[in-house]
Structure 1
Amino acid sequence: MKKFFAWFLCMGSLATYAQQQEVIISAKLDKSHNDTVVHLYEPYSGEVDSARIKDHKFSFKMPITKGGSVYIMQIGNRPELGGTLVYLEPGKMNITGKGAYFNDAAFTGDAWVKEWQEVMDITAPDKGDGKRLTELESKYHAAVQIGDEDAATKYVTEANVLEKKRNDMLLKWLKGHPNSGVAGYVLTVYFNRNKQTMDSLYQQLGEHAKASRILMRYKFPGKVDAPPMTIKADTGAVASGPLASLKVGDMAPAFSIPDVDGKMVSLSDFKGKYVFLDFWASWCGPCKAQVPFLKAANDKFKDKNFVMIGISLDSKKEGWVKGIAKHELSWLNLSSLKGWGESAAAAYGIGYLPSNVLIGPDGKVVARDLYDGKIEEKLDATIR
């Protein structure tokens, strides 16, 4: 009897543990269309579940075994109408609304549901400062497409002020919710530009926050989930396939890219030389700050078995050509005008701009991501 009782307790514990590892979602949208399929999927890993609307209701019971993460919930096949982002972890979420979709619906349930709604209110793209940021992004892209750098800079300057205001609000939220699983979303989406800042904020979080699937991916890349398969750029272009992981000592990938006149230029054309690849774009603000250092390095080494090549991730020739002229980039300039769809960017593992790669005469990578005075310093130490 004692053995049976112990076994019964053990089974009860396992049942409780299993229950704790799933999320239960109950939804009632008064005007939702019956028999419509609702999809719920984790965009990073591709895990997906589905439900069908009956009596204007639908529900999910999904295992959450790797910690909390952000999912897309989609009613039907029109994302602009029926899609919403939701943070999920083990527990309960209730959705109620008088319409057919999620706009104006109420999300209630466990504490993490409320926390997610708080962050969504701070970052909402359709009201207040968020709406203005959306407008500025649209104006910025329009300026980029016609090569109007002055207008683009103006929009970026205003956007930076609004982004700082928003990020200050998010920092205050993080301070008040150090153990929320939603903190992982805040860190990786809004503070990912500065690794030092991210690491500092990460250290201030509690164990539950750190155990989220989002932060486990951040801390242990490639261990929890495979890397994402696409990258979306500021220009709207998309690069398919994973970025290469190119290290110092690896052979530099071959490429063949048109110059401004349409002539194809290949890496093999410069066999036996030091080649400095500068990945940039006319719409890239930080790229401009590197121009004086690139000019100094090129002037000093261009006659010493060295060639500098700019590879632009522009998508419009007008903007690219204007950028070359405005900044007087005298070195060889190449671009397929595919934005982040440039295959060389993926081959060289370029996930941000500006970025650069120094290749030796033997075709192997000598250095990566040299900035400011480090460019000339490295070339001084390498080229004799």
Structure 2
Amino acid sequence: MKKYIAILCSLFSAQAMAQQGLTITGNFENLKDSKVYLVRRDKDKGLDTLNFTTSKNGSFVLKSRVTEPEPLYIFREGSPSFSYVFAENTNIEVSGNVDSMYVFKGIKVKGSPAHEQLMEFYKNVSEPFEREIMKAIEESREQGNAASVERLLMKTDEILSRRATAILKYLKTNPNQSNSLAYGIMNAYTNIGLEMSPASYNPVYEALSPSVKASVHGVKLRNLLTANMRTSPGVMAPDFTLPTANGKPVRLKDVVAKNKVVLLDFWASWCGPCRAENPNIVKAYEKYKDKGFAIISISLDTDRKKWLQAVEEDKVPWLQVSDLTQRAVVARDYGVRGIPHLVLIGQDGKVITSRNIRGEELHKKLESIFN
């Protein structure tokens, strides 16, 4: 009987918190009186403003409600700076200096267990391995040859494997899990542009509690794992057919059959890093196009005019395709979460690498293949 009473009390408490919603009280040094916005990133609406207020003497109060813990952002008027809070229906305090309105640069968040668990995960489990990987990448760039790229790939695989083991250990020793962990694990996979090893990370997913698996971010993590399994090195690349600007259908399988290596380049005219990377890809194309190197650029533009204008401005002479849908099915099939996103495919139709290699790393990888 006591057990059932405890369960009922827990349910009533959760329902009361959900009805109460969340209250974020902010106190920032040097914050001038200005409008402050509480924002959610919505896949359909983009940035969705949940509430706003005007700060007074560095303080403000924002209220809203979430269905389950989720990342929310606090923006101040006239500044790109923001505070990041993994919010739940509690009383949350955020504080710091206005010059560092970003959680990883000194913002303190209290009152959200989901946020606290996520920060603990980042600090003790994820970030140490990211620093290792960035150090390995820097060392490879300094050496500047194809052999160093191969050593880098082996080194990062080893680091990612150790990280997966560390994440698994953390989950097993922390049974009281928030769905923020699914969010943190998903970001750990994608922050540095390296693909996951499904063999390593499936056990991580299985170690999540049933409630976390069923959460929004748990489902997203499962979908991301599935997409990565479809595009892991050695796996047959998902075939697709997309139209050129003139409506001519281009099938991946047909392009692969005629070339030694095909690069899939997911990009868009509005993507600054994509446009900045295009001269580098042009350089690689000019060097290897006569050796069996082909490129298919898949634009996530929705505006035909802007897409074609960017193609002309950047002088990219290879195949350009798009269905003018930002959330294209092919992007989902290749696990694209951000652009630019590059995938190399061999003549056998299998993925060579889905690592998001750019700059000199792309040239080094192509050199190791063609030379």
Say whether the fold is shared (TM-score over 0.5): yes
Alpha carbons of structure 1 residues 112 and 371: separation in structure 2 relative to 1, 3 Å: closer
Identity, % of aligned pairs? 12
| More displaced stretch, 205-214 vs 191-200 | 191-200
CA change 1:153–1:78 in 2 (3 A) is farther
Q: 2:24·2:61 contact (CA, 8 Å) conserved in 1?
A: yes
* 1:312-351 to 2 correspondences below 5 Å: 312-313=264-265, 315=278, 316=280, 317-322=282-287, 324=288, 329-330=291-292, 343-344=321-322, 349-350=330-331, 351=334
2:146 maps to 1:184: no
Cα pair 1:309 1:334 within 8 Å, conserved? no
**Structure 1 residues 189 and 334, CA, compared in 2 at 3 Å: closer, same or farther?**
closer
Structure 1 unaligned blocks of 5 or more: 1-12, 222-245, 258-265, 279-297, 359-367, 373-384
Partner of residue 253 from structure 1, selected from 209, 233, 242: 242
Give the direction of change, closer, same or farther, for the CA distance of 1:206–1:104 in structure 2 (3 Å limit).
Answer: same
Q: CA deviation at 1:116?
A: 1.9
Q: Is the 8 A contact 2:260 2:346 kept in 1?
A: no
Q: In 2 relative to 1, CA 33–165 (structure 1 residues): closer, same or farther, beyond 3 Å?
A: farther
Please name the residue that 2:172 is paired with: 175
| Partner of residue 118, structure 1 | 120
SS in 2 for 1:354: strand
In structure 2, give the amino acid aligned to 1:73: I
Q: 1:200 to 1:130 in 2, by over 3 A?
A: closer
| Whole-Å separation in 1 of the counterparts to 2:33 and 2:213 | 39
Q: TM-score, normalised by structure 1?
A: 0.54
CA distance 1:152–1:31, shift in 2 (3 Å) = farther
Alignment partners' CA distance in 2, 1:129 and 1:191? 11
Taking the aligned partners of 1:58 and 1:68, their CA distance within structure 2 comes to: 21
Which residue does 1:63 correspond to in 2? 65
Aligned length: 274
Q: CA RMSD in A?
A: 4.8
For the 8 Å contact 1:23–1:62, the answer to whether it is kept is: yes
1:354 corresponds to: 343
Q: Check the 8 A contact 1:310/1:333 in 2, yes or no.
A: yes
Alpha-carbon distance in 2 for matches of 1:30, 1:332: 54
TM-superposition CA deviations, 1:49-75 (whole Å, max 9, x none): 23332221122222111x222233333
d(CA) in 2 for partners of 1:173 and 1:310? 39
- 1:88 corresponds in structure 2 to 87
Q: CA deviation at 1:109?
A: 1.6
Unaligned runs of 5+ in 2: 1-10, 191-195, 225-236, 266-276, 298-310, 336-341, 353-371
Give the CA deviation at 1:190. Answer: 2.6
Q: Which residue does 2:254 correspond to in 1?
A: 276
TM-score under structure 2 normalisation? 0.55
Relative to its length, the structure with more helix (as a share) is 2
2:218 alignment counterpart:
215
What SS is found at the alignment partner of 1:215?
Answer: helix
Q: What is the SS of the residue equivalent to 1:64?
A: coil
